[in-house]
């Protein structure tokens, strides 16, 4: 009796025709659901808002807990980052880069007696940095400096932290004491163009750049006392006056080659007292 009951409990086997019919029904159901989804998307008027909302969600998910990302810092409170860097249009070439390729490069080859174009000194990168020692006691100073540095460079500034503790300055390892930006490519050329043509002429009592600012390897360092010389910064909205250091890193091997490159780019170096006396 038990064997007969087991035989009766077994399900009847399906034929190949029945299996094919079930598969065809599933495929038809999926196609119908896909068609309905397309109709629903086409009927909604705000189709462009969906990618933006997804981008906002992703950017919110990428932020680590406590608001401490790479180069970030501070408390977990939401704050204004000063805007993100927008990409340049396709095929865009900065004005200063065009002039370098057309005019400055042949002139440098003639002045330095270099036959190979590859050996001519070029600008490799520009580093803009701010020292914010007072930000240890005044947190808003750091936030304002990062925002203004982002506006000046057109690229998000990175917050620098102390590498070691110094008790005399009440400094602990990991404290946020500075900000910097490294520019390369088209954004570097755009910044140099604005620095030479707009920012430096607006410096008060300007008498020329120091020609002794080279480091022995063709790289040039200069300082600016106020961030308001850049037109991107609204002088009426500035709460803290902050200077900055600008390092122009070149491929030049010696100071004379670096000086020649900076001179041809249009950097207004001051004459030495001996040269001024001879000219006078």
d(C-alpha 19, C-alpha 41), whole Å: 34
pLDDT value, residue 83: 39
CA distances from 184 to 14, 124, 253, 271 (A): 69, 7, 19, 30
Contact 168, 136 (CB under 8 A): no
Say what the pLDDT of residue 181 is.
92
Domain boundaries defined on the chain:
95-268
Whole-number pLDDT of residue 59: 44
CB 249 within 8 A of CB 124: yes
Tell me, what's the pLDDT at 33?
A: 78
131 within 8 A of 62, measured Cβ to Cβ: no
Q: What is the pLDDT of residue 21?
A: 81
State pLDDT tens for residues 205-224: 888 899 999 998 899 999 98
Query: What token pair was written down for 77?
Result: 């409170």
Domain 95-268 coded CATH 3.30.470.20: no
pLDDT in tens, the chain (280 residues): 445 554 455 556 767 777 778 888 887 877 787 777 777 666 654 434 444 444 444 444 444 444 444 444 444 444 333 335 667 788 888 999 999 999 999 999 999 999 999 999 999 999 999 888 777 777 788 888 888 899 899 888 888 888 888 887 777 887 777 889 999 999 999 999 999 999 999 888 888 899 999 998 899 999 988 888 898 888 888 888 888 899 999 999 999 999 999 999 999 998 864 454 344 4
């Amino acid at each position: 009796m038990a064997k007969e009951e087991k035989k009766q409990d077994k399900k009847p086997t399906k034929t190949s025709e029945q299996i094919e019919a079930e598969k065809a029904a599933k495929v038809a159901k999926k196609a119908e659901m896909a068609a309905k989804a397309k109709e629903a998307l086409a009927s909604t008027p705000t189709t462009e808002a969906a990618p933006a909302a997804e981008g906002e969600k992703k950017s919110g998910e990428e932020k680590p807990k406590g608001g401490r990302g790479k180069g970030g810092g501070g408390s977990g409170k939401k704050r204004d980052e000063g805007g993100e860097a927008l990409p340049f249009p396709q095929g865009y070439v900065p004005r200063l880069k065009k002039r370098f390729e057309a005019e400055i490069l042949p002139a440098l080859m003639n002045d330095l007696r270099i036959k190979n174009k590859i050996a001519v000194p070029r600008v490799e990168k520009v580093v803009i940095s701010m020292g914010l020692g007072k930000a240890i006691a005044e947190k808003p100073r750091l936030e304002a400096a990062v925002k203004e540095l982002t506006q000046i460079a057109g690229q998000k500034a990175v917050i620098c932290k102390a590498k070691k503790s110094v008790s005399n300055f009440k400094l602990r390892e990991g404290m946020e004491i500075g900000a910097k930006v490294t520019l390369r490519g088209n954004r570097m050329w755009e910044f140099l163009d604005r620095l030479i043509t707009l920012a430096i002429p607006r410096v008060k009592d300007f008498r020329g750049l120091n020609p002794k600012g080279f480091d022995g390897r063709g790289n040039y360092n200069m300082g600016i006392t106020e961030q308001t010389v850049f037109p991107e910064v609204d002088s009426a909205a500035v709460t803290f006056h902050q200077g900055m250091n600008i390092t122009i890193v070149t491929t030049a091997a010696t100071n004379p080659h670096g000086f020649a490159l900076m001179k041809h780019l249009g950097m207004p170096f001051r004459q030495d007292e001996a040269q001024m006396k001879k000219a006078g």
